[in-house]
């Protein structure tokens, strides 16, 4: 991914040396990964796994494009509902087929955190310091299940680009507020 050229002024920026160790990613980072990752990983795995992954990445990119629209109509929301169903199916297919065939190990940074936490709990116990297997657990998270509610939220509140979670003090001067 590091060899991919930048594109546009704000679309694709230069990637870090090790994208898997990045923390505190913004939505634009995930969007850039979705745009670039499909041609980068195409053909790295056997054909069945490659097709499953490419389908999943396409459905994720499609859903993301619909979710970030600034103006929605009944048609776009209906398309988004269908895209959400297809995205769920693609992720579940990925989890049940491709993930079961490949072993994933925790990152060295994850191993360090785990061993540090275990030593803090019990300093006398020589805990396992080797890397452990990691299971694909996205399907069992609240964030995964709440993606289906996104369309209904947009129907009730409008697109997600016009809200903010920024805390504004009540005594702030109205002229200094930035939207």
pLDDT tens for each residue of 152-161? 988 888 776 6
Q: CA-CA distance, 42 to 57, in Å (whole number)?
A: 11
pLDDT the model gives residue 171:
52
Q: CA-CA distance, 163 to 148, in Å (whole number)?
A: 19
Stretch 76-103: mean pLDDT: 92
pLDDT the model gives residue 179:
47
Q: For residue 133, give the DSSP letter.
A: B
Q: Is the pLDDT of residue 120 over 50?
A: yes
Cβ pair 18, 12 in contact under 8 A:
no
How many structural domains comprise the chain? 1
Q: Is residue 55 part of a domain?
A: yes
Percentage of the chain beyond pLDDT 70 is 73
pTM of the model: 0.69
User: Which residue range forms the structural domain that includes residue 110?
Assistant: 42-122+134-162
Q: Is residue 61 part of a domain?
A: yes
pLDDT the model gives residue 115:
87
In which band, very low, low, confident or very high, does the pLDDT at 35 lie, cut at 50, 70 and 90? confident
Tokens 């895209």 sit at which residue?
Answer: 83
Q: Is residue 33 part of a domain?
A: no
Stretch 139-144: mean pLDDT: 89
């Amino acid at each position: 991914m590091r060899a991919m050229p930048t594109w546009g002024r704000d679309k694709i920026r230069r990637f870090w040396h090790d994208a898997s160790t990045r923390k505190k990613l913004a939505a634009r980072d995930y969007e850039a990964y979705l745009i670039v990752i499909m041609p980068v990983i195409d053909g790295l795995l056997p054909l069945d796994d490659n097709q499953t992954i490419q389908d999943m990445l396409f459905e994720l990119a499609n859903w993301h494009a619909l979710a970030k629209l600034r103006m929605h109509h009944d048609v776009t929301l209906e398309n988004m509902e269908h895209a959400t169903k297809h995205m769920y199916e693609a992720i579940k297919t990925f989890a049940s087929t491709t993930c079961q065939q490949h072993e994933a190990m925790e990152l060295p940074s994850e191993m360090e955190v785990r061993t540090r936490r275990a030593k803090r709990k019990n300093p006398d116990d020589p805990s396992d310091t080797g890397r452990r297997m990691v299971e694909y657990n996205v399907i069992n998270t609240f964030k995964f299940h709440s993606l289906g509610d996104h369309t209904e939220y947009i129907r009730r509140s409008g697109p997600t680009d016009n809200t903010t979670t920024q805390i504004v003090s009540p005594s702030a001067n109205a002229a200094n507020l930035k939207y």
